[in-house]
Each structure stands twice: as structure tokens, then as C-alpha cells.
């Protein structure tokens, strides 16, 4: 008899939480019950799911009783507080925050790259940083053909990376600026509309911000390759949703551009988007709402015979967060790594 699972979404009212809800709806996940959890602020709200309205509950001590799987996207401190309690209650947690990503006991998974890492989970599986996921989906298939020795990446990150409130703030800023008024800033330190700034996460003593070091450290963990050299510059740009990245990949020997295109045209989770005649390449507006990472503008690096350049755009809320988490949940189900408390399912 097919199994079905009781799922809780922690952070259900947020930008990623809302997307998790719609993905569970459209991907026919074997779900017997859905629980929506957020902060006290949202208690009493309802959200639509499969033709019904489901109440949002404030997360509390008994929220995870009889829950099989938790999809958490409510920030690092909320995960630190509630993920261990959910595991204690018998659930498996797919955590979208950065709280557990570098914990050696916790698998960090991009299903197209290292699905087998999930096999050794001890209750928590971490969903990587959004820019890391997008880069990994594009670079991994090339790394399989010939080892990447060094990655130089620059990101162009949309407002959605900072949550639903930041997206609203950028829209309000655009309206204010066009009306000749001073834009208000709360979610971001500076106006993002008609502007850009280096990523606003804390800086270390070498001058790298946290977002940049996430790309470095998480990629090494996911690829299982501590030798790969990576340097990143992360920038917030006035795009509402979907991140872009310019990536330079260096190998030990030349990597044929036509072979790179062939590999990426067949790679899981990638859509090759290139029309050189029309100067048409991946754009965040077109990647928005799409599952695939759009990759293109693949060319020889004229300054280094062993390097190639590529450009990508990917939906940060979907593949960069919610979709990757749901794919992890699906692989846990496929590999029988979640213990269901419910068995019967209506199909």
C-alpha cells in the first residue's frame, strides 16, 4: 500500500513557505495531513491548499506531535530552537536556514548533485544557500567531465533573497523615487530600487561577506571536494525575483565549449538558453517561476586557455530554496528515509 506523510511547514507565511505550499500542491506529494506553522503574529490566518483553507498555528511545544516531515524556512534562530524538538518528536526536518548547513553530522543536499548524502541523515537535512544551489546545479555536470580547479563567481541577487518584506520594500522604494520622494529602508540597509550594493551580510576580517563564504564552504561540502578553489563577490541588484551569476571555471586543461554546451543541454535541472544571433541569454525575468536553472553565454575565457565563462539565472525562491527542499523531501520518501505514521493514502 502506498505510504503518505504528515507534513508541517515552519514559516508557512513567508516567501519560501508560500512557495513550499504551492509546490506540495502541484507536485502531488504523498501527503496525508498538512500543518502550517509560523509566529504568533500569523496565528489565526488561513492559507489556501487543494481547495481548502488551512489555519496557520503559532509554533509551540506540541506542534510536531505525529508529524513525519518538517519543511522549515523561518530563519536560523527559529530552526535552532525548533528543529531539535521536531526530531525528538520523531520527525525528519529539511531545514532551509543556514543553522545546520556546515554541521558535519548534517547532510547538505542538492538532489541533482549529492542525493546519496541524505542516506546518512540523523534527523536534519540542510538545504543549501540559494546562490550555491544555482551554481552547483550548473557546475557539477562539468566537474564530472573534468575536475574544476577554481571558480570565480559574481552574483546579481534579487530582493526575494531577503524575503517577502524586502520585495515589498523595493516596490515601495521605486514608487517613492519616481514620485520624487526619499525611499524608506527597513529590510535593506540602503535603497535597492534604481541602485545596487555589495551583499549586506556581515563581513569577515579578510573582507568577504557571509553570503560569499557560504558559496565557498557549502560548495566544497556538497561536491565533497575540499581542494576546489572558489572566490565569490555577491551583489544585491534591483530585481524582484530570481538571481543571476557570472561564473568563470578553470580546469587543468582546456575544456571544449561545444562539449560544455552538450553536457549542459542534457544536465538534470538545467535549461540551456542561448541565441547568439539575437544576443539572447538567461534573464531573471524569464527564470522567475521556473524549476530549471537557465544557463548560457558559455564561451572560452580569452585570458586563460584552461577556463570557460558562463552566465546563469535561476528562481531563488523555487530551485534556490523551496523546490530544492521539496526535492529533498521526495528523495527521502523514495529512499524510505522518513518513517510515516500514516499508511493509507487516497489516490
Is position 130 annotated as part of the catalytic site?
A: yes
Torsion angle in degrees (nearest 10) through CA of 86, 87, 89, 93: 50
Which residue, 187 or 342, has its beta carbon nearer to ligand A2P?
187
* In the complex, minimum distance from the CB of residue 316 to ligand A2P, in angstroms, rounded to a whole number: 11
Q: Is residue 337 near ligand A2P by the rule CB under 6 A?
A: no
**Residues 288 and 304: beta-carbon distance below 8 Å:** no
Which residues in the 58-77 window bind ligand A2P by CB under 6 A?
59, 74-75
Q: Is residue 14 near ligand A2P by the rule CB under 6 A?
A: yes
> Annotated catalytic residue: which of 121, 130, 199, 234?
130
∠ CA 62-9-140, rounded to 5°: 135
Which alpha helices (DSSP H) does the chain contain, by range?
15-26, 76-88, 130-145, 164-178, 210-223, 257-266, 284-287, 323-334
The stretch among 10-18, 21-29, 175-183, 271-279 that binds ligand A2P (CB under 6 A) is: 10-18
Binding track over 155-184 against ligand A2P, x by CB under 6 A: --------xxx-------------------
Reduced to 3 states (helix: H, G, I; strand: E, B; else coil), residue 316 is coil
Cα 226 from Cα 107, distance rounded (Å): 15
Q: Is residue 39 near ligand A2P by the rule CB under 6 A?
A: yes
> Annotated catalytic residue: which of 121, 143, 199, 243?
243
**Residues 71 and 96: beta-carbon distance below 8 Å:** yes
Which residues in the 264-323 window bind ligand A2P by CB under 6 A?
none
Nearby residues of 185 by Cβ (< 8 Å), 6 or more positions away: 169, 173, 191
Q: Is residue 50 near ligand A2P by the rule CB under 6 A?
A: no
Give the interface with ligand A2P as residue ranges (CB under 6 A): 11-15, 17, 38-39, 41-42, 59, 74-75, 78, 163-165
Residues catalogued as catalytic: 130, 243
Amino acid at each position: 500500500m502506498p505510504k503518505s506523510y504528515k507534513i508541517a511547514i515552519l514559516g508557512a507565511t513567508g516567501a519560501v513557505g508560500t512557495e513550499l505550499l504551492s509546490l506540495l500542491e502541484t507536485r502531488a506529494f504523498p501527503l496525508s495531513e498538512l500543518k502550517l506553522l509560523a509566529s504568533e503574529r500569523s496565528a489565526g490566518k488561513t492559507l489556501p491548499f487543494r481547495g481548502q483553507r488551512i489555519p496557520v498555528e503559532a509554533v509551540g511545544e506540541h506542534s510536531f506531535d505525529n508529524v513525519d516531515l518538517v519543511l522549515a524556512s523561518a530563519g536560523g534562530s527559529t530552526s535552532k530552537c525548533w528543529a531539535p524538538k521536531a526530531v525528538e518528536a520523531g520527525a525528519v526536518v529539511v531545514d532551509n536556514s543556514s543553522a545546520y548547513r556546515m554541521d558535519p553530522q548534517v547532510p547538505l543536499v542538492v538532489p541533482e548533485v549529492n542525493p546519496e548524502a541524505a542516506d546518512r541523515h540523523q534527523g536534519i537535512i540542510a538545504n543549501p544557500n540559494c546562490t550555491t544551489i544555482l551554481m552547483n546545479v550548473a557546475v557539477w555536470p562539468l566537474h564530472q567531465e573534468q575536475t574544476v580547479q577554481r571558480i570565480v563567481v559574481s552574483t546579481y541577487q534579487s530582493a526575494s533573497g531577503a524575503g517577502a518584506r524586502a520585495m515589498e520594500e523595493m516596490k515601495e522604494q521605486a514608487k517613492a523615487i519616481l514620485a520624487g520622494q526619499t525611499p524608506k529602508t527597513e529590510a535593506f540597509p540602503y535603497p535597492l530600487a534604481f541602485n545596487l550594493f555589495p551583499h549586506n551580510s556581515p563581513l569577515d576580517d579578510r573582507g568577504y561577506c557571509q553570503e560569499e563564504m557560504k558559496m565557498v564552504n557549502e560548495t566544497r561540502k556538497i561536491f565533497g571536494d575540499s581542494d576546489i578553489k572558489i572566490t565569490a563577490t555577491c551583489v544585491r541588484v534591483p530585481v524582484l525575483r530570481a538571481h543571476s551569476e557570472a561564473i568563470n571555471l578553470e580546469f587543468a586543461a582546456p575544456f571544449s565549449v561545444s562539449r560544455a554546451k552538450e553536457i549542459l543541454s542534457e544536465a538534470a535541472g538545467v535549461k540551456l538558453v542561448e541565441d547568439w544571433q539575437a544576443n539572447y541569454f538567461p534573464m531573471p525575468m524569464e527564470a522567475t517561476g521556473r524549476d530549471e536553472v537557465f544557463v548560457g553565454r558559455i564561451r572560452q575565457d580569452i585570458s586563460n586557455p584552461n577556463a570557460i565563462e558562463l552566465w546563469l539565472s535561476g528562481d531563488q525562491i523555487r530551485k534556490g530554496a523551496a523546490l530544492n527542499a521539496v526535492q529533498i523531501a521526495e528523495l527521502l520518501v523514495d529512499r524510505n528515509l522518513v518513517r510515516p505514521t500514516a499508511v493509507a493514502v487516497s489516490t
